[in-house]
Every structure is written in C-alpha cells, then in structure tokens.
Amino acid sequence: MADDWRSISPGDTRPLPCLLPPAYAQLIRDAEEPEAQALRRQVLPSDDEASFSAGESSDPLGEARYLVTPHLVHQYSNRVLVLTTGACLGYCRYCFRKSFTARTEGFIEAEEREKICAYLKKTPNVQEILISGGDPLTVPPDELFEFLNAIRHARPDILIRLCTRGPVFAPELFTKEFIARLRSLRPLWVIPHINHPAELGPAQIACFTALSEAGIPQQSQTVLLRGVNDIPETLACLFHRLVCLGVKPGYLFQCDLAPGTAGFRVPLQDGLRIWNRLRELLSGLSLPQYAVDLPGGGGKFPLSVPALSDRIDCLDTVSGLSVRGSDGKVYTYPPN
C-alpha cells in the first residue's frame, strides 16, 4: 500500500494547507466580531503553528498501535474507525490528525476497502464502524456509497457512523439524493464536528433539519478551543441550538497534543471549570460528555467525573457516597 500512514515520517510537521470552504467563508462574512474571529481562527493559518511544545506528537492518540490495515483503527473491542482519506473540506488548524490529514489525498484503495469488509465479516463483535478521515465527504459520492454499501453487504447489522465536518463546511453536499442514499444505509448516524454557534448559518441549519426530517440521527463532536469557544455561555448556546435541530451533543473534547497547537489548548483546570458551569447552564439532554484522548493510545477518558469531584465529600464502601447538591447541602447515597 503506497499510502501507508505509518510510512509517513513521524516528524512530518509540514504546515497544513489552508483551505477555506465557500460555505464557511460565507459564515465569516455574515458574522460580527468577535464571532467572525472565532471562525477565522479555526481555519486560517497562524505563525504559532511553527512552534512545537513539549508533549506534542504527530500521532497524539497513539492510533498507529491499533492499525489492522493501513487505515483501519481497532482500539475499542466493539467498534472500529476507518481513515478513508487524508483530504478535508477545510483544514482545521488544531487538527489532531494533522500529520496524516492532507498528506494522503485520495480515497483508500479498493484492495484495502475489500480487506476492511473481510475483517468486519470475520470479526462479528465489531458492532460499529466510524467512517472518518480526513473527511469522508471529500470522496466522490459514488465511490463513498460503493464502500458504504459494501460494508452494509458484509455486515447487515453494523452501525455506521459518518464522522464529518460536512454539515458546517459544505452543507450543500447534503442534497435530497445524498440524504436518501444515507437513509438507505440505516442503521447510520451522522456525527458532525461543530464548535461554535456562529457555525449555524441558514445553510447549516437547513442541512441539520433535512437530516433530522429524514430520520437520520445525529450526535455532534466539539473541540474545546482557546479563543474560539472557551466561554461556557458560547458552548451552552451551541449545544442548546443543536438539540433544537435534532442533534444530540455527544462529546466536548479536550484539545489533543498535535504539533503546533498549544495556542488552541485550554488548560485542564479551566476546562473542568467550564464543564462544571455548563452543567448549571444546560439540561442533561443538551450536555455533552467532556473527554480527553489519553496521549499515546490510552483511549478516551471522561473528564466529567473529575469535574464533579470537588463536590464529593466522601466515597467509600462503608459510608457510601456523600455529595454536595447544587443547593450546597450534603446528600448521601448508601453503599448498598
């Protein structure tokens, strides 16, 4: 396989290209300050990207350890992730796969796609497949659907998760026909990446609404980013609006240690404070999990728990759990 991700030098720190999708440029034009700046900051290069910090890595999630084909990551027992292409609709400057993204442009080869289907067939405990990248929506629809249909054929039961920035960067791709083709592949969820309420312009709202109306469930992912969305009220606004559109906020991710992204990282303690405040501002339905991908391949770790730990007075097998409620009083749940 020519485009083996592992063959790319781990020190590949060439800057990401700059690509501004037209729909996102429109959002920037329509936004006022400081929202416009929160959008520009995500897609326009800055000098900070050339400065690397301690702990940063070209593979911050340690995904290379879990590859079963050059682009299939099997880290968690019941779900796998495919890096379908390195190409994106636009290049997010904080990208955690920036050493892979934009390095390999095309769709993974047919030979590997067949291997992936064969792997799914012989590994029935895999219940979900994440179609990721890069952005799978850069793949020409006929090729993308040929692969998705092959997956569906190999595994009629598997849940397909389409992980994409498409609804924000290129909502025009979600035509009636495209949505109907997605619908034919059910069970399928769309997992949109969205970071700011100003990313919900008329075209984006129409896209989320069309997916909801077609009965395609959606769960969002958001990255906590300094100077973009590190204000609880901003995030609360985003999550509430998403729920109103039929999109369940799934994850709020701590920013990963990709090279040259220090300027985007919110210190953990601040992140925990932000999430704690979000709990007060939002319903359970609107609140995503706050999580960090442990560097080096440790997997996702929920930070929502430590965010609450300062409210725990006591937790042991004798006294049970004593916690301060939102009224400041201590409440106890017995050990058994």
Are residues 208 and 245 in contact, defined by beta-carbon separation less than 8 angstroms?
Answer: yes
Task: Give whichever of 60 and 271 is closer to ligand PLP, judged by the CB atom.
Answer: 60
Q: Within its chain, how far is the Cα of 38 from the centroid?
A: 18
Please state the closest distance from residue 86 (CB atom) to ligand PLP, in A.
16
Please state the closest distance from residue 127 (CB atom) to ligand PLP, in A.
10
Please state the closest distance from residue 37 (CB atom) to ligand PLP, in A.
29
Task: Give whichever of 78 and 184 is closer to ligand PLP, judged by the CB atom.
Answer: 78
Indicate the residue type of 269. Answer: Q
Task: Give whichever of 35 and 293 is closer to ligand PLP, judged by the CB atom.
Answer: 293
Q: Which residues bind ligand PLP (CB under 6 A)?
A: 73, 75-76, 79, 81, 130, 300
Give the CA angle between residues 179, 182, 183 to the nearest 5°.
Answer: 85
7: CB partners within 8 A, 6+ apart: none
Task: Give whichever of 60 and 201 is closer to ligand PLP, judged by the CB atom.
Answer: 60
Q: Is 98 exposed, middle or buried (0-12, 13-18, 19+ CB in 10 A)?
A: buried
Please state the closest distance from residue 258 (CB atom) to ligand PLP, in A.
14
CB atoms within 10 A of CB 50: 11
Task: Give whichever of 159 and 173 is closer to ligand PLP, judged by the CB atom.
Answer: 159
Please state the closest distance from residue 128 (CB atom) to ligand PLP, in A.
7
Looking up tokens 């749940």, which residue turns up?
333
Indicate the residue type of 256. Answer: D
Please state the closest distance from residue 80 (CB atom) to ligand PLP, in A.
7
Q: Which of 45, 53, 54 is nearest to 14 (CA)?
A: 45
Q: Which of 79, 81, 101 is nearest to 8 (CA)?
A: 101
Helix (H, G, I), strand (E, B) or coil at 123: coil
Task: Give whichever of 226 and 300 is closer to ligand PLP, judged by the CB atom.
Answer: 300
Instruction: Give the separation between CA 101 and CA 105, rounded to whole angstroms.
Output: 8
Instruction: Give the separation between CA 298 and CA 211, rounded to whole angstroms.
Output: 33
Task: Give whichever of 15 and 217 is closer to ligand PLP, judged by the CB atom.
Answer: 217
Residue 8, beta-bridge partner list? none
Please state the closest distance from residue 300 (CB atom) to ligand PLP, in A.
5
Residue 223, beta-bridge partner list? 253
